[in-house]
Structure 1
Amino acid sequence: MSTAHVRALLDHIDAELPRESWPHWTEGWPQEIEAALLDAAFSARATYGTPTTGVRAVITRWRDHRAAPLDDLTALAAHADEPEGLLAVLNNRQRVPGNYTTKAEAVATAARSLTELGCITSADLRDDDAQRSAIVAVPGFGAATWECFAMQLGVPTAASRAVVCDFIAEALALESPATETQADDLVAAAAVRLEVTGTTFTHAVWRYQRRQQRAAGAR
């Protein structure tokens, strides 16, 4: 990929997800597995909001309640049998897609399932079938929940890589998706130009592309 390709990618980003208005130019929630799980649940079919509203407000309330680093899923799992306490802390009664339960209850259930597999901190997260199933099996959660959860913690999956490759193909008007090698090279080059990390770049692009896919009816 040439310098012209990098320039075209940067121009596409300026047009579609400028840093001054797109809220996802962050690394997600590195080393904060509780925040990542809350984000994956509460961002589903909801407005992401500002630092004091929406998803980030939910995470802030939990952070204030915990008064500790948010990297221990046992704290959320403790509410699985009696989710009312978690609902009170988060002050949010949104329900999961399908209206099965509240998002708070789904988070607690998923946290317990993950801890039972030995996934307690962000260092324990793996893109494997067992951990993925622990998320996807929760009523109202799905593959997108898992992808979002893993992305927040900087754990790439085959699906998230494909989303980034699709974005690059669209940005460069390629006839087929970019290869992973091409995508990696372009992400690295564009991140340097934008003075952000590759993780930040990938997170912003993934969030944007997922929104576009949802708008087009993808699941």
Structure 2
Amino acid sequence: MSTAHIRALLDHIDAELPRESWPHWTEGWPQEIEAALLDAAFSARATYGTPATGVRAVITRWRDHRAAPLDDLTALAAYADEPEGLLTVLNNRQRVPGNYTTKAEAVATAARSLTELGCTTSADLRDDDAQRSAVVAVPGFGAATWECFAMQLGVPTTASRAVVCDFIAEALDLESPATTTQAEDLVAAAAARLEVTATTFTHAIWRYQRRQQRAAGAR
């Protein structure tokens, strides 16, 4: 990929998801598996908000409650049988898509399922069938929940790589999706120009593509 390709990608970023107005120019929640799971659940069909509102406010309330690093799912799993306590802590009664249960209860259930598989900290997360199934099997969660969860922790999946490749193809007006290698090289080069990490750039792209897909599905 040439310098012209990088320039075209940067121009597309400026037009579609500029840093001054797109809230997802962050690395996600590296080494904070609890925050990542809360984000994946509470960002579904919701306004992401500021640090004091929306999804991030939920995570802030949990952080204040824990008063500890958010990298131990057993803390959330402890509420699986008594979700009302977690509802009180998070002060958010949003329900999952399909209205099966509250997002808080779904988070606690997923956390327990993951811990039963030995996935307790961010270092334990793998994009494997067992862990993925533990999340998507929770009523109201699904493949997008898993993808968002993994993305927040910097764990790439086949689907998230494909989303980034599609974005690159659209940005450069390619006739076919970019290859994974092409996409990774372009993301790294553009991230360096933007003075952000490749993880931050990838996260912003993935969130943008997910929003575009949801908007297309609503039409």
**TM-score, structure 1 length as denominator?**
0.99
What residue number does 1:34 align with? 34
User: In the TM superposition, what is the alpha-carbon distance from 1:40 to its structure 2 partner?
Assistant: 0.1
User: In the TM superposition, what is the alpha-carbon distance from 1:30 to its structure 2 partner?
Assistant: 0.1
SS of alignment partner, residue 177 of structure 1: coil
CA 1:110–1:88: 2 relative to 1, 3 Å: same
Distance in 1 between residues matched to 2:138 and 2:47, nearest whole Å: 22
Deviations 1:79-131 (A, max 9, x none): 00000000000000000000000000000000000000000000000000000
User: In the TM superposition, what is the alpha-carbon distance from 1:147 to its structure 2 partner?
Assistant: 0.0
Distance in 2 between residues matched to 1:66 and 1:108, nearest whole Å: 15
Q: In percent, how many aligned pairs have the same letter?
A: 94
CA 1:118–1:218: 2 relative to 1, 3 Å: farther
User: In the TM superposition, what is the alpha-carbon distance from 1:218 to its structure 2 partner?
Assistant: 7.9
User: In the TM superposition, what is the alpha-carbon distance from 1:58 to its structure 2 partner?
Assistant: 0.1
- Across the aligned residues of Structure 1 and Structure 2, the Cα RMSD in angstroms comes to 1.0
Superposed, 1:106-121 pairs within 5 Å as 106-121=106-121
**TM-score, structure 2 length as denominator?**
0.99
Gaps of 5+ in 2: none
Deviations 1:4-33 (A, max 9, x none): 000000000000000011000000000000
Distance in 2 between residues matched to 1:21 and 1:61, nearest whole Å: 24
**Misfit runs of 4+, over 2 Å:** none
Deviations 1:132-173 (A, max 9, x none): 000000000000000000000000000000000000000000
Gaps of 5+ in 1: none
Residues matched between the structures, number: 219
User: In the TM superposition, what is the alpha-carbon distance from 1:183 to its structure 2 partner?
Assistant: 0.2
User: In the TM superposition, what is the alpha-carbon distance from 1:51 to its structure 2 partner?
Assistant: 1.1
SS of alignment partner, residue 96 of structure 1: coil
Distance in 2 between residues matched to 1:36 and 1:190, nearest whole Å: 25
Deviations 1:48-80 (A, max 9, x none): 111100000000000000000000000000000
Distance in 2 between residues matched to 1:212 and 1:72, nearest whole Å: 33
Distance in 1 between residues matched to 2:106 and 2:170, nearest whole Å: 35
What residue number does 1:7 align with? 7
